[in-house]
Amino acid sequence: MSMVIPPPPVTTIPVVGGGEFPVRRIYCVGRNYAAHAREMGGDPNRDPPFFFMKPADAIVPNHATVPYPTKTSDYQHEIELVVAIGKGGRDIPVDKALDCVFGYGVGLDMTRRDLQATAKKLQRPWDLSKGFDQSAPCTALSPVSAVGHPGAGAIWLTVNGERRQAGDLADQIWNVAETISYLSGYVELVPGDLIMTGTPEGVGPVQPGDRMHGHIDGLDDLHVTIS
């Protein structure tokens, strides 16, 4: 079959130790840390997990400079643990879910917060507030064989050297295994999928010239500059 236009390139993320991980879909968990759920007006004792998506080509490599996006005056950071799926399935049991993980990275769910607030008020989708160009910076992926499964450890973000977000992976309302299991009840997970697992409290705006530094214990640090 001949293509009527050139096929788009496959988005990939480098793997620590060599190789490239092809990205199929990016699923994002909303409000997965209790303090962040409260700061966004949610109830961590009541709300089940919910998901939204970013396109694969929203990925930005580590140490990149990212332009301040259009159509917003409130561009905000959300530091997250990124889970890379290496083996998929449907209705994956919690006790088998971690077997599906290829590796982990450090990512940012960049958000046009003013567009999101408007969408919430009008009960419209979040797509343009979350799934815009270059909205998913991510480090290289560390394979499970090298780092294990980080269920606890510091997660933080600084902007221009000032600490903005800080928490612990153990503070997640839904851990990685539970998240994989729950999501796989709604969609079939496939090798190449990423799951961004939520952010701790302290989300806030960045401006042109700001330098973001994201950290999760045991993984590569993330560095992004806004132009």
Average pLDDT of the residues in 155-159: 98
Q: What pLDDT score was predicted for residue 36?
A: 57
DSSP 153: -
Q: In the chain, what are the domain boundaries?
A: 12-226
pLDDT tens sequence across 201-226:
999 999 999 999 999 999 999 999 99
pLDDT tens sequence across 161-200:
999 999 999 999 999 999 999 999 999 999 999 999 999 9
Nearest CA-CA partner of 195 in 48, 45, 49? 49
Choose the CATH number for 12-226 among 3.40.50.720, 3.20.20.120, 3.30.1300.10, 3.90.850.10: 3.90.850.10
pLDDT tens sequence across 17-45:
999 999 999 999 988 987 656 666 666 66
Q: Is 0.75 surpassed by the pTM of this model?
A: yes
Q: What are 209-212's contacts with CB under 8 Å, separation 24+?
A: 210/159, 210/160, 211/159, 211/160, 211/161, 212/77, 212/108, 212/157, 212/158, 212/159
